[in-house]
A = this chain, B = another copy of it.
C-alpha cells in the first residue's frame, strides 16, 4: 500500500502546488504530509483492477478521493477546534484558523483541476460533487447530535437529542460510507466498467465504510494504545457514536436520562467519562459493536461475490477484514 500511497501523494502535491504562492505551499502541503493510511485510494486502485482496469488509470481518481478526504479533515479540524491529528499538529493549530480555512478552500480548487485530468472526468466530477455534498450533510448531523459544547443559539435550539439507531445509521452513511463507496466507484469509473460491476463495487465500499466507522467509534470508547484520547466522543458530547447508541437502546428510561445528562454537561470531566464508560459496559455494547462491525465487513465481502476472482478482488476481501481489525 505504501508504494501506491507514494504515487497518490505525488499527484496530490502536484495539483496543490499549481497556482499557489510559494509562501502558501507549506500550509497547503501540511495536511497531506501529516500522513494517513491511504486506505481509500488503495480501495480505488484495487476496485479498478478488480473489474479489469489498469492500475495506472486509477492513480488520479485515487488521488481525487484522498484529496476529498484531506479537504474534509482540514475543515473538520476547524469545526471541532482540533489541535492534534495522527500525533501531529493540525493545519489549524500550526498555521491558525484563517490560513487553515483558505487552505481548505484551495484544496477544493486543486480537486477540480485534478478531476479534469482523470479518465471519464464527467462521471468522476458528478461523483465528487455528490460525495462532498453528502459528507457535508454527515458533518451537519454530527454537529447537531452533539449534546453540548457549542453556544450558538441556533445549535442549542436545533440539537438532535433522540438516540435512535436509524439516525445514527443516517449519520455514518453520510459521514463515512459515502466516501468509501465513492472510492470504489471511482475505481470502477476509471476502468470503464458496466453497471453490474459498479453495483458490486459500490455495495462493497458502502458496507466497508459503515464497518470502518462503527469500528472507529468502538476504538474511541474501548480502544487501548490507539494514540488517541480515550472516549474523546464522550468528552465532545457526541451522541453519534456506535457504542453510545447501542448502549442507550439497552438502558432503562431513567438510566438513559442520566447518561444523556453526562453527554450534555458543559464540561465532561474524567469522573464523568468513567461513569459513562461503566454504564456503556453494563449494556454489553462492547460485544455488540464489534459484532456489528464484523457483520458489516462480511456483507461488504458478499457484495463482491459476483465479480470474477482475481488478485485484486482477493486484496479487497482482505481489506474488508483489515478495516475492522485495523491491521493495515
Interface on A for B, CB 8 Å cutoff? 19-21, 23-24, 75, 78-79, 94-99, 101-102, 105-106, 108-109, 112-113, 116, 125, 129-130, 132-133, 136-137, 139-140, 143, 150, 152-155, 158
Contacts and interface: CB of A to CB of B under 8 A. Distances in A.
Contact of A99 (B24, B102, B133, B154): B154
A74 to B, nearest CB: 11
A154 B78 contact: no
B75 A24 contact: no
Contacts of A155: 95-96, 98-99
Q: Would you list the 3 A-B pairs with minimal beta carbon distance, nearest first?
A: A96-B152, A95-B154, A79-B98
Nearest to A128: B112
Given A20-B137, A102-B136, A109-B132, 14 more contacts: A21-B137, A23-B158, A24-B137, A79-B98, A96-B150, A96-B154, A98-B143, A98-B152, A99-B152, A102-B143, A105-B136, A109-B136, A112-B112, A112-B125
A94 to B, nearest CB: 7
A140 B75 contact: no
Contacts of A99: 140, 143, 152, 154-155
Contacts of A125: 112, 116
A289 to B, nearest CB: 27
Contact of A75 (B105, B136, B152, B158): B105
